[in-house]
Amino acid sequence: MASQGAPAVHPAVQTSKSFTPRIFSGIQPSGGLTLGNYLGALRRFVEKQEEGIETIYCLVDLHAITVWQDPERLRHQTREAAAAFIAAGIDPARSILFNQSQVTGHAELAWILNCVARIGWMYRMTQFKDKTAGKNAENSSLGLLAYPSLMAADILLYHATHVPVGEDQKQHLELARDIAAKFNHDYGEEFFPITEPVIEGAGTRVMSLRDGAKKMSKSDPSDQSRINLTDDADTIARKIRKAVTDPAPLPESVEGLKDRAEARNLVNIYAGLAATTPEAVIAEFAGAQFGSFKPKLAELAVSVLAPISTEMNRLMRDPAEIDRLLGEGAGRADAIAAPILDRTKDIVGFIRSRRG
């Protein structure tokens, strides 16, 4: 349901039609991917692929340019993100993997949805508020404000029913539901699905290693705050050893982590990497000092991440092959998107005489 303060979902169009299950998610190639992306998103993406549901994963370069990106870096980071997906277990033959700008339907549907969504809905987004905090919001790009409407277009262009994301994207997904519902209501047809967010597991909100109140982010100025998927074993171990913690040992139960953001974060990271629960981690390490817990965590992190970065390095040696795979993925994505976009145009009342 819509969050507090967000517009209400029109109940009449919310549930009655059933759509074939289809997963869509995206990651911005606006920097190197982090452990947060891995635990909150990438790992979930692989699980969904293994469940045999149709999975579509997108490197959202149109979203990335809502803040300035150096063109060569953007191209490099897009390839590197593609390599990270494949190295983490996304099989480009089973999942569709592509970069957003190659499927023009994203931008086209985003425009239509810009005319459905309300400006006030955009101003309410906490991510927009965070990204403009302390700056002149009037001087941010118009794209940054409209960003959630493009995100709704990404999802709705494929009639995706489920969207795996980290906790920070919840509000954007609620907005996507509201936009879909308003479109359906305004045009009197239950055309777009009301998408379900999939936010699950211990790693849905990985925090900075320097500040337990801040999310781990590829755009944090401090490299010490995050583990990058490209970090080598020594760097990973050093960052974990230096992670900010309090002096107390690990508690006897997860409730004891309530007011200890940094300790809770390291326990959650351990649980995410070991694919277990924070309860199980506490059961194993209750009473342990960080001096003994951190080396165990570093060892686990290296064992999970080192094979991924090795494989990424291998894939990055052949950028032409990555580009070829992305192009192939874009072709398959477009084949799903085109009839949905055509139908949207018919519903809206556009003349369409060149295709279909």
Binding positions for ligand TRP, rule: CB under 6 A: 24-28, 60, 63, 151, 154-155, 163, 165, 169, 172
345 has catalytic annotation: no
218 has catalytic annotation: yes
Q: Which of 47, 57, 46 is nearest to 24 (CA)?
A: 57
CA distances from 347 to 119, 149, 183, 223, 339 (A): 23, 19, 10, 48, 12
CA–CA dist 42, 241 (Å, integer): 25
Crossing angle of the two packed helices 105-114 and 319-348, in degrees rounded to 10: 40
202 binds, among ligand AMP, ligand TRP, none (CB under 5 to 8 A by kind): none
- Nearest approach in angstroms of CB 44 to ligand AMP is 8
With contact defined as beta carbons under 8 Å apart, do 187 and 347 qualify?
yes
Catalytic residue among 48, 170, 214, 218: 218
273 binds, among ligand TRP, ligand AMP, none (CB under 5 to 8 A by kind): none
215 binds, among ligand AMP, ligand TRP, none (CB under 5 to 8 A by kind): ligand AMP
Identify which of residues 163 and 179 has a Cβ nearer to ligand TRP in the complex: 163
Identify which of residues 39 and 179 has a Cβ nearer to ligand AMP in the complex: 39
CA–CA dist 327, 286 (Å, integer): 50
Catalytic residue among 131, 170, 296, 345: 131
163 binds, among ligand AMP, ligand TRP, none (CB under 5 to 8 A by kind): ligand TRP
Identify which of residues 33 and 302 has a Cβ nearer to ligand TRP in the complex: 33
Which residue's CB comes closest to ligand TRP? 26
Crossing angle of the two packed helices 71-88 and 319-348, in degrees rounded to 10: 100
155 binds, among ligand AMP, ligand TRP, none (CB under 5 to 8 A by kind): ligand TRP
- Nearest approach in angstroms of CB 160 to ligand AMP is 14
Crossing angle of the two packed helices 71-88 and 290-316, in degrees rounded to 10: 110
- Nearest approach in angstroms of CB 11 to ligand TRP is 24
CA–CA dist 145, 177 (Å, integer): 18
Count H helices and E strands in the chain, helices first: 14, 5
Token representation of residue 226: 């995050």
With contact defined as beta carbons under 8 Å apart, do 27 and 59 qualify?
yes
Instruction: Give the CA count within 13 Å in the CB-facing half-sphere of 151.
Output: 30
182 has catalytic annotation: no
Identify which of residues 35 and 151 has a Cβ nearer to ligand TRP in the complex: 151
Catalytic residue among 48, 182, 215, 294: 215
- Nearest approach in angstroms of CB 314 to ligand TRP is 26
Which residue's CB comes closest to ligand AMP? 40
- Nearest approach in angstroms of CB 197 to ligand TRP is 9
196 binds, among ligand TRP, ligand AMP, none (CB under 5 to 8 A by kind): none
Query: Can you say whether residue 276 is alpha, beta or left, with left for phi > 0 and alpha for psi between -120 and 50 degrees?
Result: beta
CA–CA dist 103, 43 (Å, integer): 25
Identify which of residues 28 and 230 has a Cβ nearer to ligand TRP in the complex: 28
Residues whose CB falls within 8 Å of the CB of residue 184, separated by 6 or more in sequence, listed in order = 10, 13, 190, 191, 192
- Nearest approach in angstroms of CB 72 to ligand TRP is 22
Identify which of residues 28 and 309 has a Cβ nearer to ligand AMP in the complex: 28
Rg (CA), the chain: 21
24 binds, among ligand TRP, ligand AMP, none (CB under 5 to 8 A by kind): ligand TRP
CA–CA dist 292, 323 (Å, integer): 44
Kindly list the residues in this chain that would bind ligand AMP in the complex (CB under 6 A).
Answer: 27-28, 36-37, 39-41, 165-166, 168-169, 203-206, 215-216, 218
Active-site annotation, residues: 131, 215, 218
